[in-house]
Structure 1
Amino acid sequence: MRHVRRVGAAVVMTAAVVLVSGCSGGDGDSAKGSEVDPVVVSETPPVDVVAEPTTEEPVTEAPSTPATPQEELDALAAEKGWEVDDLYAGSASAFVEDICESLPTSGADSTSRPQWLAESGNFEEDGKAILQAGIPKLCPKWSTVLKQAVSGKYDRWFGNGTYVVSSKPAADGGDQTIPPGTYRAEGKMENCYWERTSESGDIIDNNFATSARKITITIRSSDGQFTSEGCTVWKPVK
């Protein structure tokens, strides 16, 4: 009985050795045949990321504000290199706006509007160019007055003073002139004196009115001077 148990034990041990040898792979083809195929791990394809809807509104640029007529004029003056009196801080638009506000009243008691515009120093240096560019933009209702002033074809009115009779406008710094023609002064006049004199100063005609509403005179081309004091404004009769 002991012999049989030994054989059985030997068989068990032999089987264990064979099992272990098979698992450890031996040599030759048998070892290759027993290799386990490697496990192939497949990569997961990328998933497209879908952007979540946003509640924010798209940013849009604010529309640019159109330039004002004043800004356009100042930009043009800077481009042209026009110079403006320091009184207006170098602003062409400020100069033109002042003229626009002054036109209804300035010189109204002694000169016509185009006469005031042309003969009161407003056209000096770059003034004429600035007014020609600016008045149509800032106060177009005075555009006709501007054209008359630029052309020199306008009515000239005459207030107090002594004028040399001449068809030619007075030169800068020269004596004031008045063209020959018929003139009329209207309005309430008290102590109005006027006279026409020859070139030598002799009185040709004169009058002193203590109270008058309308006075008409004719100045001839042969007259030398005309003087008026206290007679409102002399305007040409058409």
Structure 2
Amino acid sequence: MRRTLLAVCAALIFPLAACGSEESTNSLPDATTTAVSPSSSAAAPTTTVSPEQALYNEYAAALTAAGIPFRPGSGLGSGAFSSDQSICKAMRGGTLDAYQLARVELGTAGEDNKRRVTTMVPILCPDQQPLLAEALSGNAVMTRFIDGKYIVSQGGSAQRSVMPGTYSTGPVSDCYWERADSQGNIIDNNMVSISQSITVTIAESDGAFTSKKCGPWTLVR
């Protein structure tokens, strides 16, 4: 009877032990599944700056460091950055010569505008620094002007003035030009239906010059 009881107890105890052993084994964390691999960690985000944005950042930093006020904005057609890019384009294209640069951007536009232009040229159009230097020298000569009505002035001090000299333009179609004295009396004029080129000399004694549909005039001498 005693042997039978021992056998029964043994039969009950061993399966329980086996079950306990299996449960404790399965409850241990698997090192191969919980360990974090260095290669699987998320890479630090990187920010890509476009060349245009980098140029704007340099431009804005230079103006800010110099204490020069400017309209922010790096998008097309926005802020002083876009305006100054247009100035650089005009300088490169020849539509803004040293004389006009000195007279308008470095003169009538105001001191803040002058400081901004002299600061931005080395950044946005460094190839135009010789033109800027000529404009700042005070010795720039008018080499080009467009259609309009002008007061003839040796120093070009009037708001809309042209310096005496010989200028040419062309080709033209239906171009009208006129030289007048200081009282507005016509000295010489011409209406040109069509021509490959026109050359006109504006004398120091002239008072005014008018050009309609003649295109840009360029200084010859």
- 1:122-161: CA deviation from partner (whole Å, max 9, x where unpaired): 7533222222222212321122222223334143422222
- Identity in percent: 31
Q: How does 1:151-230 map to 2 (within 5 A)?
A: 151-152=137-138, 153-171=140-158, 174=159, 176-187=160-171, 189-230=172-213
Partner of 1:31: none
Whole-angstrom CA distance in 2 between matches of 1:146 and 1:96: 18
Instruction: Give the TM-score normalised by structure 1.
Output: 0.58
Q: CA RMSD in A?
A: 3.7
Q: Secondary structure at the match of 1:210?
A: strand
For residue 103 of structure 1, report the CA deviation from its aligned partner. 3.2
Higher-Rg structure is 1
| Regions of 4+ moved over 4 Å | 105-109, 119-123
Give the residue type in structure 1 aligned to 2:85. C
Q: How does 1:1-238 map to 2 (within 5 A)?
A: 70-85=56-71, 88-89=72-73, 95-96=80-81, 98-105=83-90, 111-121=95-105, 123-152=109-138, 153-171=140-158, 174=159, 176-187=160-171, 189-238=172-221
Whole-angstrom CA distance in 2 between matches of 1:125 and 1:90: 23
Whole-angstrom CA distance in 2 between matches of 1:117 and 1:228: 22
For residue 200 of structure 1, report the CA deviation from its aligned partner. 1.7
Give the residue type in structure 1 aligned to 2:206. D
Whole-angstrom CA distance in 2 between matches of 1:179 and 1:167: 5
Instruction: Give the TM-score normalised by structure 2.
Output: 0.62
For residue 120 of structure 1, report the CA deviation from its aligned partner. 4.4
Give the residue type in structure 2 aligned to 1:231. C
Q: Is the 8 A contact 1:112 1:156 kept in 2?
A: no
Q: Is the 8 A contact 1:100 1:135 kept in 2?
A: no
Structure 2 regions of 5+ residues with no counterpart? 1-37, 39-53
Whole-angstrom CA distance in 1 between matches of 2:58 and 2:189: 54
Give the residue type in structure 1 aligned to 2:213. G
Q: How many residues align?
A: 171
Structure 1 regions of 5+ residues with no counterpart? 1-55, 57-67
* Higher helix proportion: 2
